[in-house]
Amino acid sequence: MSRVLVFMLVFFLGFNLGHSQKSVNDYKYVIVPAKYDFLGEEDKYRLNSLTKFLFNKYGFESIMSNESYPSDLKIDACKALRASVVNHKSLFKTRLELELRDCSNELVYKSEIGESREKDYDRAYNLALRDAFKSIENLNYKYSAKEIARKSVIVASEEDDSEVERLKAKIEKLESESKTVKEIEMPKKAETKVIEPEITEVKETIAEKKEEQPNNVKASNNVFYAQVIDGGYQIVDSTPKVVMKLYSTGKQNTFIVEDQNAIVYEEDGFWYISEREGSTTSTRVLNIKF
């Protein structure tokens, strides 16, 4: 648990250091919310759709938050900026301001305030937003494909890599010991009881690859779904209920589980969760749909 907290602290400190010179050109996508809080209704006055349209018009690749994300954004949520519109209340004007924040909620860019004196809300919000987008137009945005600096994250991920390797080594040792127990305890008689190692207790597996799964994995039909959040994913069941939250480590397809001494990683087409309680390590296969 303490390792997770330390990792998350180093993670966000790393972003603060690495993003000292931030530019919108460092980000490939802009995520537009489906609803603005100050309106309280999804795409009211078509303002959210207009936001997406204008970002695309000025060279950005924008995505609505309720749309399916590209595969590279699913792997690395920090490739995108999060757009928001701030409503500056005024008696005689509609005044809107655009903000762009990174995956750690750090402000990357703030536009000039767009204004409109129209009394009709539909037209007033439309004109004020277009006025604010004049600042975005003047940015002459062009994606630079430059990797965002994450020096502290790299240090943390190297440490986490060693933890992954340590867990894998322990799993291999347990599997080796279990094979030895089987050879000693199981004579050739068919009625002999086989001693199963603790590591083989797996609750969930991937249904599509049932015939390919390891011999020491028990099958189950439970399915979970990954939803992108800042810094990683939240895993939900079919209810949908949030089961856990995963945060990127810097190593592809390897995540730390929030508030648990555990990691989730992909290997040979399967997703695993490896948990440690005291001196005991257990591993389960997870059926996660990304």
- The tens digit of pLDDT for each residue in 241-285 reads 888 898 888 788 888 888 888 898 888 878 888 888 877 888 888
CB 85 within 8 A of CB 48: no
d(CA 29, CA 162) in angstroms, rounded, equals 32
Report the half-sphere exposure of 36 (CA within 13 A, side-chain side): 24
Q: What is the pLDDT of residue 240?
A: 80
Q: What is the pTM of this model?
A: 0.47
CB 87 within 8 A of CB 103: no
d(CA 42, CA 44) in angstroms, rounded, equals 6
CA 72 to chain centre: 11
CB 228 within 8 A of CB 244: no
Spans of all domains in the chain: 20-138, 151-289
At residue 268, the 3 state secondary structure works out as coil
Judged against a pLDDT cut of 60, whether residue 149 lies above it is answered with: no
- pLDDT band, very low/low/confident/very high, at 36 (cuts 50, 70, 90): very high
Residues 6+ apart with CB under 8 A from 238: 223, 225
Is it true that domain 20-138 has CATH number 3.40.50? yes
**Segment holding 270, helix H or strand E:** strand 270-277
d(CA 266, CA 161) in angstroms, rounded, equals 13
Which range (17-26, 35-44, 147-156, 256-265) has the least confidence? Answer: 147-156
d(CA 271, CA 284) in angstroms, rounded, equals 9
CA distances (Å), origin 178, targets 170, 189, 247:
12, 19, 33
- For 170-190, write each residue's pLDDT tens digit: 667 766 665 554 454 444 444
DSSP state letter for 23: -
Q: What is the pLDDT of residue 52?
A: 96
For the chain, what is the total number of helices (H) and then of strands (E)?
5, 14
Q: What is the pLDDT of residue 109?
A: 96
Q: What is the pLDDT of residue 289?
A: 85
Question: Which segments of 85-120 does DSSP mark as H helices, in order?
Answer: none
Tell me which long-range contacts 63-71 makes (C-beta under 8 A, separation of at least 24). 63/29, 63/30, 63/31, 63/32, 64/31, 64/32, 64/33, 64/34, 65/31, 65/32, 65/33, 65/34, 66/34, 69/228, 70/29
> What torsion do the CA atoms of 209, 212, 215, 221 make, to the nearest 10 degrees?
10
| Of residues 241, 230, 288, the one with CA closest to residue 8 | 230
Average of per-residue pLDDT across 210-238: 69
